[in-house]
């Protein structure tokens, strides 16, 4: 329990080399703001990359689910009511996990299944595969209540969309704009008001007062005999609201890629930015190479991580030290068990 004293300080990175069930049990109820969990996927493989390895072989799916259940239950206990959990998995057991997670976190708290396209293609037909290429992971997102932290993220518009939608230019200001529908979708059933505006009687998206304000501020485009449209200026737009298919983040490659199944920083960064704020606490039960710790250090979040593998913890420790991030590592002696690292306290 010694490490819990670090959690009283305002900024911390704490790493536990142990089963995540034990780590979660150390933490009090309603303590963490966000959990990103990337457990073994039930792949029936022994992963190895350089000196790093982890074993994802099980007797059967029941054994795996029996192992996972108490961990997810503990994760729920330690999450704040404003918190959320991201459960990373793939086709092997995603469907079993969804059923279990619906029960534990409550189906009504389910927000999304994010599809992360982790590679462009799987060309294994020549080796005898007779199925479509399996190129995506699933990430299930649950909030703990309706009052969860959410910072909307945006992605840049595609060139083709910019060309087709933002093809109008304001002659005076030279600003590019797109035309947006002002009629109220769903009509009366969605509570849209009906009135006459610029010669057309319709269900409109906004109140008459607001439409008049928009007109007065030059935000409405209107040609005789046609419906009015809203001018959406490109320089006022954030971009495209992030959707649930993420195909713009390639897998980790190159010198940075050290650990089997290591996730890219950009992927975790997106999750951390959306579902937490500066100074909040993220817990990653299966840190592997410590990607979430690196992201939390860069984004000023507090971080608690655990991994059963001491090699994984050492790698995580090294990555964090390289960022000048002070890490409390428990149990401290394990740092020296697998590979000695020079540690400055
Ligand atoms: C899919 S990898 C995590 C990869 C990580 N997200 C990254 O970016 O490097 C899963 C990790 O879970 C660890 N692990 C397996 N069983 C565990 C347990 N019961 N408690 C904690 N860690 C465990 C493995 O050692 C492995 O490092």
pLDDT per residue as tens digits for the range 115-125: 999 988 888 88
Q: Is the dihedral of CA 298, 302, 306, 310 positive or negative?
A: positive
- Any ligand 1 atom below 6 A from CB of 314: no
Per-residue pLDDT, 156 = 94
Q: What percent of the chain has pLDDT over 70?
A: 93
Q: What is the pTM assigned to this prediction?
A: 0.89
Mean of pLDDT values over 4-30: 84
Per-residue pLDDT, 204 = 97
Instruction: Supply the DSSP symbol for 183.
Output: B
DSSP per-residue codes, 35-97: EEE-------EEEEETTEEEEE--S-HHHHHHHHHHHHHHHHHHEEEEEEEEEEE-TTTHHHH
For residue 36, what are the CA distances in angstroms to 89, 236, 328? 11, 33, 20
Per-residue pLDDT, 9 = 64
Per-residue pLDDT, 312 = 94
- Any ligand 1 atom below 6 A from CB of 259: yes
Per-residue pLDDT, 219 = 94
CA 156 / ligand 1 centre spacing (Å)? 33
The residue nearest atom 16 of ligand 1, judged by CA position, is: 308
Per-residue pLDDT, 210 = 97
Cα torsion 16, 17, 21, 24 to 10°: value is 0
Domains located in the chain, CATH noted: 19-153+242-307 (3.40.50.150), 160-236 (no CATH)
HSE of 293, CA atoms in CB hemisphere, 13 A: 34
Task: Decide if 272 contacts 293 (C-beta within 8 A).
Answer: no
Kindly indicate the confidence band of residue 4, based on its pLDDT and cuts at 50, 70 and 90.
low
Q: Looking at per-residue confidence, does 12 or 33 come out higher?
A: 33
The residue nearest atom 4 of ligand 1, judged by CA position, is: 288
> Probe ligand 1: pick from 308, 310, 320, 330, max atoms within 8 Å of CB?
308
Kindly indicate the confidence band of residue 3, based on its pLDDT and cuts at 50, 70 and 90.
low
Per-residue pLDDT, 339 = 45
Residues paired with residue 37 on neighbouring β-strands, in sequence order: 87
> Probe ligand 1: pick from 287, 289, 295, max atoms within 8 Å of CB?
287
Per-residue pLDDT, 333 = 52
Task: Decide if 147 contacts 84 (C-beta within 8 A).
Answer: no
> Of 141-155, 166-180, 190-204, 326-340, which gets the smallest average pLDDT?
326-340
pLDDT per residue as tens digits for the range 229-264: 999 999 999 999 999 999 999 999 888 899 999 999
pLDDT per residue as tens digits for the range 28-75: 999 999 999 999 999 999 999 988 999 999 999 999 999 999 999 999
Task: Decide if 41 contacts 96 (C-beta within 8 A).
Answer: no
Kindly indicate the confidence band of residue 330, based on its pLDDT and cuts at 50, 70 and 90.
confident
Per-residue pLDDT, 332 = 57
């Amino acid at each position: 329990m010694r490490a819990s004293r670090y959690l009283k300080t305002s900024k911390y990175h704490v790493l536990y080399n142990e089963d995540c069930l034990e780590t979660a049990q150390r933490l009090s109820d309603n303590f963490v703001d966000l959990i990103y969990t990337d457990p073994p996927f039930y792949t029936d493989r022994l992963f190895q990359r350089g000196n790093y390895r982890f074993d994802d072989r099980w007797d059967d799916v029941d054994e795996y689910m029996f192992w996972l259940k108490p961990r997810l239950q503990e994760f729920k206990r330690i999450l704040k009511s404003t918190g959320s959990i991201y459960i990373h998995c793939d086709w092997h057991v995603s469907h079993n996990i969804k059923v279990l997670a619906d029960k534990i976190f409550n189906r009504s708290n389910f927000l999304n299944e994010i599809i992360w396209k982790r590679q462009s293609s799987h060309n294994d037909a020549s080796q005898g595969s007779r199925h479509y290429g399996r190129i995506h992971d699933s990430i299930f997102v649950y909030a703990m209540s309706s009052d969860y932290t959410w910072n909307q993220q945006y992605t840049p518009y595609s060139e083709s969309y910019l060309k087709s939608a933002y093809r109008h230019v304001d002659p005076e200001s030279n600003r590019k704009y797109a035309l947006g529908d002002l009629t109220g979708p769903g009509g009366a059933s969605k509570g849209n008001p009906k009135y006459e505006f610029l010669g057309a009687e319709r269900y409109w998206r906004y109140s008459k007062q607001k439409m008049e304000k928009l007109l007065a501020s030059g935000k409405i485009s209107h040609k005789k005999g046609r419906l009015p449209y809203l001018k959406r200026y490109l320089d006022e737009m954030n971009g495209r609201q992030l959707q649930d298919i993420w195909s713009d983040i390639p897998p980790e490659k190159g010198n940075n890629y050290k650990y089997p199944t290591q996730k890219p920083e950009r992927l975790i960064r997106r999750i951390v930015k959306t579902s937490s704020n500066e100074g909040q606490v993220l817990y990653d039960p299966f840190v592997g190479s410590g990607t979430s710790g690196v992201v939390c250090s860069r984004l000023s979040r507090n971080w608690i991580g655990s991994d059963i593998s001491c090699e994984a913890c050492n790698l995580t420790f090294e990555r964090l030290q390289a960022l000048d991030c002070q890490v409390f590592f428990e149990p401290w002696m394990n740092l020296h068990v697998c590979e000695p690292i020079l540690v400055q306290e």
